[in-house]
A and B are shown apart, each in its own frame.
Chain A
């Protein structure tokens, strides 16, 4: 048949059409997929917690005890030592994000999930935690115990 002869001069045209068609389809697919991918990314949550929070009232806690408080969208741990001093740290374990607790018997901070321990300065002393806990500043304002992020530098 003459199909072979006819297809010879057409080959480059066919390639050009395939290129335009394929390119067009790919471009439209990209224009569908791009908004979808952006849609999937959740917008950043505005942290209205600020840099300072009232964690407790004077006389609310017993000596040698700990209390979990809200610091922005994450939990913090406030500890009242036996000598009457306060200490505040991030309560999110640096291992896998569980919320830690104060152990009055050991005078240590303990994570129940994988038996990690930190000392009262937040240093990871045993178990799996890879990094220390962030330590916050504690002030007393009137009868309120105020916790704030440590100022950088």
Chain B
């Protein structure tokens, strides 16, 4: 059906040359290959976010007096509005989840090592930006939970010594969380972050494309010992089709979640009511939230909050630079990083669960 069209295009722009790099690309085939899918699924969910986000923009109105009402309008009056918004909210959560899975799989499969340090660095920055998406998007419906989550979140940013206070005022668009904050977060959410994320995804994918897929050290060792055991598949179309199947499954899960558990809207934010009991941030911030909660208010002569924020920032920085601690081939560093990875995974999961059940 498309053959004449493809021939027509090929005569003019030489499609073969364009597809050639993808045809040469191969994907290693071993028992851990399925972890390679999670980056792609995260990308797919991001595409869903862009599309549903554009749709929501048709009806959403930023502003303290209109935001909640416009989301209510989307949920109740616009046909399939509830579905589009629920897909946006669910896809956001699933995207952060798959991004975490992708990150830890890269960590445990040792895919971050030389020469892929930059891929790791762009990936960690992308994770931070995606969490920024979550944080800014959470405020946009202007409901009570979002209002207080933003208040607490920006307050935490304000704890950083010296630059904290100006940063908080920059984020809030003033001393307090008001309609001005909503305007800013809307701008970050629909203009600033998408721009940054698209550029970083482009670099991230370019690097993956350029360097090919990493093979886990143990598999690589086995293949070096026995070269006939080496298995590969073509990226195009073999791996591509498998990836499409993974996307299709992701789409099914997403659609089912959105249809069976539509996202709540909550109660309109009122700056002059008390915070409701048991207020918590979104699950992906829980491990940090719980860490901050557990630090005593004074440690020696330093404020507990300040210590917590500085500790988390330092941990984040070390995480970003992780591949550079393993650039030499000393086996001690390898063991150390594996230990750290396991600790990080257990810590993040443990603290999230603890934060979820804690009062």
Contacts and interface: CB of A to CB of B under 8 A. Distances in A.
Interface of A: 28, 35-36, 38-43
B83 A35 contact: yes
Contacts of A43: 77-79
Contacts, number: 26
Contacts of A41: 79
Contacts of A42: 59, 78
Contacts of A28: 248, 251
Interface string B58-85: 1100000000000000000111110110
B55 interface: yes
A38 B79 contact: yes
Contacts of A38: 79-80
Contacts of B80: 35-36, 38-39
A25 to B, nearest CB: 9
Contacts of B55: 36, 39-40
Nearest to B55: A39
A17 B78 CA distance: 38
B84 A35 contact: yes
23 contacts: A28-B248, A28-B251, A35-B79, A35-B80, A35-B84, A36-B55, A36-B80, A36-B84, A38-B79, A38-B80, A39-B55, A39-B58, A39-B78, A39-B79, A39-B80, A39-B81, A39-B84, A40-B55, A40-B58, A42-B59, A42-B78, A43-B77, A43-B78
B103 to A, nearest CB: 29
Interface residues of B, number: 12
Interface string B83-97: 110000000000000
Contacts of A36: 55, 80, 84
A73 B123 CA distance: 51
A35 B258 CA distance: 13
A42 B55 CA distance: 12
A21 to B, nearest CB: 11
A36 B48 CA distance: 12
Interface string B109-121: 0000000000000
B84 to A, nearest CB: 5
Contacts of B83: 35
A152 to B, nearest CB: 29
B85 to A, nearest CB: 10
A39 B251 CA distance: 19
A43 B80 CA distance: 11
A36 B58 CA distance: 12
B332 to A, nearest CB: 52
A137 to B, nearest CB: 33
Contacts of B248: 28
A35 B79 CA distance: 8
A41 B81 CA distance: 11
Nearest to A36: B55
Given A35-B83, A35-B84, A43-B79, 13 more contacts: A28-B248, A28-B251, A35-B79, A35-B80, A36-B55, A38-B80, A39-B55, A39-B58, A39-B80, A39-B81, A42-B59, A42-B78, A43-B78
